[in-house]
């Protein structure tokens, strides 16, 4: 179901209790087409304002439960949308009380959303965690190796977001890299770590750019 009206309009009446809209993310307006097999976006609606489309699901206007199944459903839908084009992924649990407040968001933040989509176009996220191999408390040498690996990878990425230290991890970060070059980026990370048996890498991707988007609703 598509909504091609580029302006603000009244909420459409819906049957049953699902009157709210659960936000998955925002993309450029385009024709998706259908793919064979199970479609994670089969029940996703598109609410359009100008050349932007909010991807939403019908929902009940209440606090979303943070359980494994619903979070995984959210992630699967966002990842399916990512395969069809650049997306500004919404954090879990963002629900609008109908179409009007959602379109108002698209109106008021249009320039910011447009700029963010341009910045993320053709990019994906790769996450890196570096720990000490022996599992002990990090020492200065291990920290130096971790920082050197991060610095080298940062030069190969469009952007990076370091995470706060967690437990005995030496370093954690998300990198924004070219979607066509994420395999080479991971291989580069593994090559940099290979001479340093004292550290261990956990690197995953490609992910939607979760850590490079901040929604203000």
Percent of the chain with pLDDT over 70: 83
pLDDT tier at 140 (50, 70, 90 boundaries)? confident
Most confidently predicted of 33-37, 41-45, 79-83, 181-185: 181-185
pLDDT of residue 87: 92
Total residue count of the chain as it appears in this document: 217
Q: How far apart are CA 175 and CA 130, in angstroms?
A: 14
First to last CA, the chain: 25
pLDDT tier at 6 (50, 70, 90 boundaries)? very low
pTM over the 0.85 mark: no
CB count in 10 Å sphere of residue 57: 18
CA distances from 172 to 41, 130, 136, 165 (A): 31, 6, 17, 7
Most confidently predicted of 73-77, 96-100, 124-128: 124-128
Q: Which of 56, 113, 112, 118 is nearest to 85 (CA)?
A: 118
More confident residue, 131 or 66: 131
More confident residue, 217 or 202: 202
pLDDT of residue 45: 86
Q: Which of 3, 191, 28 is nearest to 118 (CA)?
A: 28
Q: Is 43 helix (H, G, I), strand (E, B) or coil?
A: coil
Q: Say if CB 177 and CB 187 are below 8 A apart.
A: no
CA distances from 117 to 25, 73, 102, 177 (A): 11, 23, 18, 14
Burial class (CB in 10 A: 0-12, 13-18, 19+), 123: buried
């Amino acid at each position: 179901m598509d909504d091609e009206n580029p302006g603000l309009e009244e909420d459409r009446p819906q049957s049953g209790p699902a009157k709210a809209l659960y936000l998955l993310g925002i993309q450029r307006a385009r024709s998706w087409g259908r793919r064979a097999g199970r479609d994670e976006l089969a029940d996703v609606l598109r609410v359009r304002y100008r050349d932007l489309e909010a991807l939403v699901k019908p929902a009940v206007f209440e606090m979303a439960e943070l359980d494994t199944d619903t979070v995984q459903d959210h992630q699967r839908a966002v990842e399916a949308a990512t395969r069809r084009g650049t997306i500004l992924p919404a954090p879990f649990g963002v629900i609008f009380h109908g179409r009007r407040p959602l379109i108002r968001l698209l109106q008021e933040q249009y320039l910011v959303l447009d700029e963010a989509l341009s910045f993320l176009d053709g990019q994906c996220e790769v996450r890196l965690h570096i720990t000490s191999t022996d599992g002990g408390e990090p020492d200065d040498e291990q920290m130096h190796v971790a920082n050197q690996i991060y610095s080298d990878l940062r030069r190969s990425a469009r952007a990076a977001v370091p995470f706060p230290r967690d437990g005995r991890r030496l370093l954690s970060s998300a990198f924004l890299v070219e979607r066509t070059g994420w395999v080479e980026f991971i291989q580069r990370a593994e090559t940099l770590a290979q001479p340093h048996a004292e550290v261990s890498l956990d690197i995953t991707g490609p992910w939607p750019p979760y850590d490079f988007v901040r929604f203000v609703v």
